[in-house]
Amino acid sequence: MRRILALMAALAFGAIGSVAVAGPATAAPTCSATVRTLIPSPSPTGWAENLTYDAAGNLWVTRSLDSTVARYDRNNRLTATVPVTAPGAIRTGPRGKLYVTSGNSATNMLPVGPLTGTIVTIDPRAPRPVAKPWARGLGMPNGLAFDKAGNAYVSDSRLGVVRLKPNGSIDRRWSAAAPKNVAPTATVNGTGINGAAIDGDTLYVTLTTSLTGRVIAVPLAHPERARAVADLTAPLPGLVDDLAVIGPSKLAVTTTLGQLYVVNVRTGSSCAVNVGAPLTAVTATPGDPTRLVVASENGTVYVVRL
């Protein structure tokens, strides 16, 4: 459903007119990589939306359709499930807590109705972890990243890029200058701002639907200076989901058409791994950036070894 709505929005956006692309329209070469299943899908509704590791090495997976966050130990055994309504991104934030976006559903992407999206926290060290509210007033909070000062950056597929202060309140001045979800420009050439990842002083975000499969760089100090840094699917439109930093100026980016892209934003070079399933998110294994763990819409979690 979310992809259908996003495609409709992209087609409407494309009718507005053409926009500039960041670079030449060339297909990415194939990365040298292996792919295997790490965790099979638990059910037909097991959609794995996002994932991250905690400090103890447990893997946490958000399962949007089941409204749960699942914890797996180092042997890939399910050890806990935490109820969270339509969870999206999950990240480690201040004080070692896990932060989870909630309300990641297609209905919240529509530009009408109340802002019911939230962010909750989970203490990964608790014997029986539970979700507690931390931030409110969001639309469809999708991607999430934290800077060193404890500010949270939300890729909200309704509102655009939003910054939250360490107390969970919206930094409205910063957010007003950041890219919006539906605002046709040479940089925002699509809709559904989705993933979020920080490398140094730059936030990288993706567009669920884009004329070129675009990745956008947003300087943390100057959000009004956002620029395009990669067009992964040009000259074709792209269905890009989440992303992760896997090295200096190096990103891994997922698409719902089944490709995992590895991009050097400094040189513009990229390659792609065809995983063969609609991909939603990626994270690097702690201590091994060549071992990427990837979530999918079919609920399976994969390992991609570069």
* pLDDT tens-digit map of 214-247: 999 999 999 999 999 999 999 999 999 999 999 9
pLDDT range class, residue 20, cuts 50, 70, 90: very low
β partners of residue 91: 99
pLDDT range class, residue 10, cuts 50, 70, 90: very low
pLDDT range class, residue 18, cuts 50, 70, 90: very low
Mean pLDDT of 166-182: 95
**Contact between 120 and 132 (Cβ < 8 Å):** yes
pLDDT range class, residue 23, cuts 50, 70, 90: very low
**Is the pLDDT at 264 greater than 60, yes or no?**
yes
pLDDT of residue 14: 37
The candidate with the shortest Cα–Cα distance to 110, out of 215, 8, 239, is 8
pTM for the full model? 0.91
